Structure 1
Amino acid sequence: MRYYSIKDLEQLSGIKSHTLRVWEQRYNLLAPKRTETNIRYYENEDLKLILNVALLNDNGYKISKIARMSSDEIKKEVLTLTDKSLTYGDQIHALIISMVELDEERFEKIISTNILRMGFEMTMLQIICPFFSKIGILWQTGNIHPGQEHFVSNLVRQKLIVAIDGQIYSGGGKKFLLFLPQGELHEISLLFSCYLLKSHGHKVLYLGQDTPDEDVNAVSEIHRPDYLLTVVTSSPAAEHVQRYLNSLSERFPASRILISGYQVLSQDLKIPSNMKVMQRLEDIKDYLTTLTNVA
């Protein structure tokens, strides 16, 4: 069973630890257990409850009213609210609840509804990517279980592959080589980059996850890409990232290298001259508008 500290609940729900303690004392909203050394901890059911409570509270429900509701009533109210709410924040919050509960049907419904409402690209940029950005940091810091992250990643990955298959290359544009470093398995950002590039008429050579350096070298030697694009989320480790960037720059001096990911963005690195850091996926989309010769 997964256990959470009050700080974990704060990071996942957005509710301050002090507020959670007040709610515990005043409304008996949560009943934390304690270790033998008297340190409080929370279980999955506590996390699910507080995520639902946070969503209702953010939408104007008074905590005194929420505290009088049963767990089933709270969950029903949340489902009704997220079905009607059009705000990005509420939709992202609903995805987090679905992830914690491993509720595939609910997760799929939220994504599909938003795709129908505002299109695939906007759903990715405004809801799914911010959602992954949040849980990516939580995963890095150990606040969510890797199984939860794999659960939602595979559901979104399926959507992305279908969307990519629908993009037909008709010639022209620039040539991009996409890959993840050896040991890197977090593929969502790379897949969405592939979708963006193809939808803007560019040629994509997609190598995917965990790509050995020699494979990148071999494909680059044959196809001579204009651009390389990669994402460093967890591999290489933080202390090796600068060396990795320097190596990429030296190996592909004739290519422009676009790079992003937690390990790059969270450090003060010296970026080689032929490399550009993408802070957000929107930056990739914006960068594409500056390129010429697009089919």
Structure 2
Amino acid sequence: MSIYSIKDLEQLSGIKAHTLRIWEQRYDILRPNRTDTNIRTYDDGDLKLVLNIALLKEHGYKISEISKMTPETMSKEVVKISDQQLSYPDQIHALTLSMLDLDEERFEKIINTNTIQYGFETMMINIIYPFLSRIGTLWVTGSIGPAQEHFISNLVRQKIIVAIDGQLATLKPGAKKFLLCLPEGELHELSLLFGNYIIRARQNKVIYLGQSLPFSELLFAYKVHKPDYIFSVITSVPGPDEVQSYVYELSNAFPEAKILLSGYQVVGQDIDCPENVRILIQMKELGGIVAGN
């Protein structure tokens, strides 16, 4: 069972910590445990309760009404709402609940329904990415266990691979060549895989080298393929003390290529970008670059 702080609940549910405290005092709807220093802590049941409340509130239920519901009644109302057409934030709440319960059937229903309605790329950008972003800090801090992280990551990975396999192999006239890889030691592959999908969907050429590629092998692959672009995602490696020098190394080693970077270690950081390097804040920017070839 995971232990959450009140800030964890705020990040996962979107409900402010101040509001959670008021609910606790006014409605007795939450009963957190407390540490020896009187700091509130919450368990999986508390998190599910807050996510369910958030979903009900967004659909017009008043907190005074919700506080009087039994767990069974609340669950029935949430299921009733989940069977309707949900907004993007609602879907993110539902995915979070499926992760906590390791509920593959619920995950599949959410993803398949939204893929049919919006298309795979729109579903990924508006639902999966905000969802992964919301819980990412909790993975790093250990508030969510490895089983839950692996469960969701592997399901999302499978969906992307199936979508890639379903694409046409034809290239458009004047197609550009993209080399995709992660730095040595970097294993967070979902964004790179999705980048693969985005580029192929616009009928460009992809050389996909995947996780943890030594720099010497990147040099070798570049000499063989001479790509127009190199795309990489830096989530954890290299870390903050080495990432700037790594950006310079890429720029100097491949002066004729356009280097596209994304990921936690470069987005929103004070990275000095040489002329041939661009940092992508959101994955939809990659689609714009590829379409503009």
Same-fold status (TM-score > 0.5) = yes
Match of 2:238, SS state, is: coil
Aligned position for 2:267: 265
* Residue equivalent to 1:86: 86
Deviations 1:115-156 (A, max 9, x none): 111221221122112222222244345543343222111101
Please tell me whether the aligned partners of residues 135 and 149 of structure 1 are also in contact (alpha carbons under 8 angstroms).
no
CA deviation map 1:165-193 (0-9, x unaligned): 11232245111100111121111111111
Report SS of the residue matched to 1:31: coil
d(CA) in 2 for partners of 1:136, 1:32: 23
Kindly provide the amino acid, as one letter, of the partner of residue 168 in structure 1: L
Is structure 2 residue 10 aligned with structure 1 residue 10? yes
Tell me: CA distance 1:85–1:146, structure 2 relative to 1, closer, same or farther (3 Å): same
Q: Which residue of 1 aligns with 2:22?
A: 22
| 1:17-42 Cα distance to aligned partner (Å, 9 max, x none) | 11111111221111111223332211
Aligned length: 291
What is the distance in 2 between the residues matched to 1:239 and 1:73? 51
The AA in structure 1 aligned to 2:116 is L
Helix, strand or coil for the counterpart of 2:183? Answer: coil
Taking the aligned partners of 2:38 and 2:58, their CA distance within structure 1 comes to 31
Paired residues for 1:280-295 under 5 Å: 280-291=282-293
Contact preservation (8 Å) 1:13, 1:51: yes
Matched with 2:218 is: 216
SS at 1:84 equivalent: coil
For the residue of structure 2 that corresponds to 1:176, the secondary structure is strand
The C-alpha deviation readout for 1:231-254, integer Å capped at 9, x for no partner, is 011111112110111111111111
Give the secondary-structure state (helix, strand or coil) at the position aligned to 2:236.
coil
Gaps of 5+ in 1: none
CA distances 1:197-240 after superposition (whole Å, capped 9, x unpaired)? 11111111101111111221111111111110000111111121
> How far apart are the structure 1 equivalents of 2:80 and 2:201?
35
Asked if 1:254 corresponds to 2:253, the answer is no
Q: 1:221 to 1:41 in 2, by over 3 A?
A: same
Residues of 2 paired with 1:283 and 1:148: CA distance? 29
Query: Is there any run of 5+ residues in structure 2 with no aligned partner, and where?
Result: none
Q: 1:182 is matched by which residue type in structure 2?
A: E
Partner of 2:201: 199
Residues in 1 aligned to 2:231 and 2:83: alpha-carbon distance in whole angstroms: 37
Q: Secondary structure at the match of 2:151?
A: helix
Partner SS state of residue 261, structure 2: strand
Normalized against structure 1, the TM-score is what? Answer: 0.94
Q: CA deviation at 1:75?
A: 2.2
Structure 1 window deviating more from structure 2 (34-43 vs 55-64): it is: 34-43
Distance 1:140 1:266, change over 3 A: farther
> Counterpart amino acid of 2:213?
T
1:186 aligns with 2:188: yes
Partners in 2 of 1:150 and 1:81 — Cα distance? 28
Q: Which amino acid aligns with 2:253?
A: R
Residue in 2 that maps onto 1:57: 57
In structure 1, how many angstroms separate the alpha carbons of the residues matched to 2:4 and 2:155? 25
Give 2:44's aligned amino acid. Answer: N
Supply the RMSD in Å over aligned alpha carbons: 1.5
8 Å contact 1:236–1:244 — kept in the other structure? yes
- Alpha-carbon distance in 2 for matches of 1:279, 1:36: 41
State the Cα distance separating 1:83 from its structure 2 match. 2.2
Q: Say if 1:273 and 1:142 are closer, same or farther in 2 by CA, change over 3 A.
A: farther
Tell me, yes or no, if the aligned pair for 2:27 and 2:67 is still in contact at 8 Å. yes
